[in-house]
């Protein structure tokens, strides 16, 4: 029997029994080259006696651990335990070795400088005549591999900007939670003005805000909750332990408290707002995909109603269903020509003539009766029907204007409303619209396109180009509902605009409300100073008209003169109020 001792390292090495299936000639070779293998092997090898005291180590051991042979010979292998593995682990290792004479697995050891490192370890027990004579351990340093793996893991599971879990990790966690029995809430959150921030400030500011939001939200959750950044300005939370809507609402309000005070940027403070949609597991669905889509629908609804948060509910589901149905009906209405146009006269009170008409679309639903454009235009925008609808409107408004011109009203211009998504999707030289106008044989000067302030706010070069193209061809550009959106005063100057239409909310309480009068006066002065034409909408009373007349506002649109009229009624109206035509 060979008893392993520290004094006989060289002899020991020869006592290692090679694998059983070695052929004799292989064994010969192996023994011849052992010294080379020992010297140059990349894996660390150490040989211990039966009490786990080190007898010898190879150079790779010294390289990997930083310990020299002198440091470790005679020492117990516990010397490089990292402290990261628990007692159970070592007990299990010892038991396996005892029973099977072999243990393999990952382990954390420590280097001489104290840093822990992962290793893949193989330990063999040597037994001679039923007596344990020693142990051989071989291990490979896994640090580089682990680092590469964790790098990949971080890249695929975490958002680089905010360091929060990303959509993929979030989806995995959601799937896992759905497979357990415990109730939880799923919250999706969307920042409201991120687009404006990104277009009006630099991208670094946008990034800073996202990080600040992530930081604030993280401060309001518990360690058991998961907060993820699931998209550009979208975040999602998984909140275990929430069992009913009331609890969910209280928690959501706490989260939304993050937006109660402004975000401090480098040289300014900025208030941010967000909207949130909430769905509960298992109440609102047990399926991860459906649950997420329900929370997103609730978010969509919150945004639409301009509410900070909305819980998914069966009522919401019903509303969505009826909206989907309406969308379908609208698609049919466009296809089967159930829509019509009415025209509202715009008067020049100086010359006492109708100088322009505004085309307004109408929908007579076969079951529901008249549906307001305030309801169906946003629906058309959401569903991508607006382009087809807008084209139909332009075509018919042009056709009716041609008829009017033929009846002798040659000076009348037609003002056509354009939705923002519609404007943004035409080509940069606005060829679609200009071709339609030309095909109808109309001078582009007789067409005005009404767009809204929000389009100016997006401040895209492409929008400016489209406006220039339309104006170069002779069309007019009007800003509709001026003063209702963001304050676009500074933008007004920088865009090629001919007409500004003041929203009727500014006219409603004049001349009684002094504040309102001051506000309106200010806007009138501003637009006049910019040399643009001003149209006041929603004029209903003689008092309003008198007030506006005193302020030299000559273009007036409103029920006082006429409601929007179907073409035939419009024609009679024009023939009545302008018998001499021009
Ligand atoms: P808008 O462009 O501001 O149109 C003016 C709205 O004010 C029209 O409502 C008109 O009927 C109403 N109105 C006009 N004078 C008065 C008045 O003296 N008093 C009151 N209370 N209201 C007055 P309508 O036709 O219901 O249209 C509502 C909105 O729907 C429009 O607002 C516009 O944003 C959109 N819209 C209507 N037709 C079209 C269209 O053909 N294309 C697009 N994209 N949007 C349209
Ligand atoms: Ca309009
Ligand atoms: Ca308007």
What homologous superfamily does CATH list for 158-315? Answer: Reverse transcriptase/Diguanylate cyclase domain (3.30.70.270)
311 vs 316, which has greater pLDDT?
Answer: 311
With a CB cutoff of 8 Å and minimum separation 6, the contacts of 507 are: 520, 536, 537, 538, 539, 540, 544, 548, 558
Mean pLDDT of 278-301: 95
Note whether 127 and 104 are within 8 A (CB). Answer: no
Note whether 470 and 430 are within 8 A (CB). Answer: yes
Place of tokens 């920042």: 191
87 vs 380, which has greater pLDDT?
Answer: 380
Which ligand is located closest to the Cα atom of residue 481?
3
Distance (Å, whole) CA 239 – CA 276: 14
Is the CA virtual torsion 353, 359, 364, 369 positive or negative? negative
Distance (Å, whole) CA 394 – CA 386: 12
> What is the pLDDT at residue 487?
56
* Ligand 1 pocket, residue 417 CB under 6 Å: yes
Place of tokens 């309480």: 509
Report the atom number in ligand 1 closest to the C-alpha of 372: 26
With a CB cutoff of 8 Å and minimum separation 6, the contacts of 302 are: 275, 276, 277, 308, 309, 310
* Ligand 1 pocket, residue 381 CB under 6 Å: no
With a CB cutoff of 8 Å and minimum separation 6, the contacts of 231 are: 167
- In sequence order, the β-bridge partners of residue 341 are 361
Q: Which of 346, 373, 501, 508 to mutate to test the pocket of ligand 1 (most atoms within 8 A of CB)?
A: 373
- In sequence order, the β-bridge partners of residue 132 are 127
Pick from 20-24, 134-138, 159-163: least confident: 20-24
Domain positions in the chain: 9-142, 158-315, 346-577
Note whether 103 and 85 are within 8 A (CB). Answer: no
Place of tokens 């211990």: 48
Which ligand is located closest to the Cα atom of residue 541?
1
> C-alpha angle with apex 247: 241 to 249, nearest 5 degrees?
125
> What is the pLDDT at residue 485?
66
Q: Phi and psi dihedrals of 484, rounded to 5?
A: -95, -25
Burial of 158: CB neighbours in 10 Å, binned 0-12, 13-18, 19+: middle
Burial of 366: CB neighbours in 10 Å, binned 0-12, 13-18, 19+: exposed
* Ligand 1 pocket, residue 214 CB under 6 Å: no
Tens digits of residue pLDDT in 325-361: 999 999 999 888 889 999 999 999 999 999 999 999 9
Q: Phi and psi dihedrals of 190, rounded to 5?
A: -135, 130
* Ligand 1 pocket, residue 360 CB under 6 Å: yes
Q: Does the pLDDT at position 4 exceed 50?
A: no
Q: Is 287 helix (H, G, I), strand (E, B) or coil?
A: coil
Find, among 210, 214, 281, 220, the residue nearest to 252 by Cα.
220
* Ligand 1 pocket, residue 344 CB under 6 Å: yes
> What is the pLDDT at residue 290?
95
Report the atom number in ligand 1 closest to the C-alpha of 422: 44
Q: Does the pLDDT at position 35 exceed 60?
A: yes
Find, among 510, 504, 505, the residue nearest to 543 by Cα.
510
Which ligand is located closest to the Cα atom of residue 501?
3
Which ligand is located closest to the Cα atom of residue 538?
1
With a CB cutoff of 8 Å and minimum separation 6, the contacts of 545 are: 349, 539, 556, 560
Compute the radius of gyration of the chain from its Cα atoms.
Answer: 39
* Ligand 1 pocket, residue 372 CB under 6 Å: yes
Q: Which residues surround ligand 3, an ion (CB under 5 A)?
A: 480-481, 537
* Ligand 1 pocket, residue 558 CB under 6 Å: yes
Choices 3.40.50.10860, 3.20.20.450, 3.40.190.10, 3.40.50.300: CATH for 346-577: 3.20.20.450
Distance (Å, whole) CA 327 – CA 386: 11
> What is the pLDDT at residue 498?
94
Tens digits of residue pLDDT in 44-75: 999 999 999 999 999 999 999 999 999 999 99
* Ligand 1 pocket, residue 559 CB under 6 Å: yes
**DSSP type of residue 265:** -
Give nearest CA residue, ligand 1 atom 27. Answer: 373
> What is the pLDDT at residue 342?
98
Q: Phi and psi dihedrals of 566, rounded to 5?
A: -65, 160
* Ligand 1 pocket, residue 396 CB under 6 Å: no
Choices 3.40.50.1820, 3.30.450.20, 3.40.50.300, 3.10.20.600: CATH for 9-142: 3.30.450.20
């Amino acid at each position: 029997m060979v008893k392993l001792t520290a004094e006989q390292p060289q002899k020991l090495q020869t006592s290692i029994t090679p694998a059983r299936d070695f052929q004799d000639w292989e064994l010969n070779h192996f023994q011849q080259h052992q010294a080379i293998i020992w010297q140059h092997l990349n894996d660390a090898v150490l040989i211990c006696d039966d009490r786990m005291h080190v007898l010898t180590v190879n150079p790779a051991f010294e390289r990997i651990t930083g310990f020299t042979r002198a440091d470790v010979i005679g020492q117990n292998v516990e010397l490089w335990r990292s402290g990261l593995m628990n007692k159970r682990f070592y007990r299990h290792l010892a038991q396996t070795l005892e029973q099977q004479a072999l243990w393999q697995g990952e382990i954390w050891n420590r280097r001489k400088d104290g840093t822990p490192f992962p290793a893949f370890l193989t330990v063999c027990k040597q037994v001679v005549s039923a007596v344990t004579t020693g142990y051989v351990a071989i291990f490979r340093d896994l640090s580089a591999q682990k680092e590469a793996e964790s790098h990949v893991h971080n890249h695929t599971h975490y958002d680089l900007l905010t360091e929060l879990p990303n959509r993929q990790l979030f989806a995995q966690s959601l799937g896992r939670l759905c497979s357990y029995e415990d109730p939880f809430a799923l919250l999706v959150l969307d920042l409201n003005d991120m687009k404006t921030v990104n277009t009006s400030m630099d991208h670094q500011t946008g990034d800073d805000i996202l990080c600040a939001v992530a930081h604030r939200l993280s401060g309001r959750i518990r360690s058991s909750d998961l907060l993820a950044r699931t998209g550009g300005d979208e975040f999602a939370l998984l909140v275990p332990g929430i069992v009913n809507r009331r609890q969910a609402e209280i928690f959501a309000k706490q989260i939304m408290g993050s937006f109660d005070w402004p975000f401090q940027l480098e040289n300014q403070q900025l208030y941010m707002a967000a909207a949130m949609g909430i769905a509960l597991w298992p109440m609102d669905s047990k399926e991860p995909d459906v649950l997420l889509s329900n929370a997103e629908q609730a978010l969509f609804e919150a945004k639409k109603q301009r509410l900070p948060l909305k819980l998914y509910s069966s009522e919401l589901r019903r509303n969505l269903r009826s909206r989907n149905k309406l969308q379908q009906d609208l698609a049919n209405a466009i296809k089967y020509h159930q829509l019509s146009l009415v025209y509202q006269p715009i008067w020049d009170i100086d010359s006492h003539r109708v100088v322009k008409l505004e085309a307004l679309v109408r929908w007579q639903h076969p079951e529901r009766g008249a549906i307001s454009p305030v309801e169906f235009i946003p629906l058309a925008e959401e569903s991508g029907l607006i382009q087809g609808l807008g084209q139909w409107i332009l075509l018919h408004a042009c056709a009716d204007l041609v008829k009017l011109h033929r009846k002798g009203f040659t000076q009348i211009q037609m003002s056509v409303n354009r939705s923002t998504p519609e404007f943004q999707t035409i080509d940069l030289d606005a060829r679609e619209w200009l071709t339609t106008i030309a095909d109808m044989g109309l001078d582009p000067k007789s067409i005005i396109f009404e767009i809204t302030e929000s389009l100016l706010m997006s401040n895209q070069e492409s929008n400016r180009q489209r406006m220039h193209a339309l104006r170069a061809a002779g069309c007019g550009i009007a800003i509709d509902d001026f003063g209702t959106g963001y304050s676009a005063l500074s933008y007004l100057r920088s865009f090629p605009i001919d007409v500004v239409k003041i929203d009727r909310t500014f006219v409603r309480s004049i001349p009684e409300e002094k504040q309102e009068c001051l506000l309106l006066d200010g806007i009138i002065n501003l637009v006049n100073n910019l040399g643009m034409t001003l149209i006041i909408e929603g004029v209903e009373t003689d008092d309003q008209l008198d007030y506006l007349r005193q302020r030299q506002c000559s273009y007036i649109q409103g029920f006082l003169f006429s409601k929007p009229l179907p073409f035939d009624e419009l024609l009679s109206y024009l023939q009545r109020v302008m018998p001499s035509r021009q």
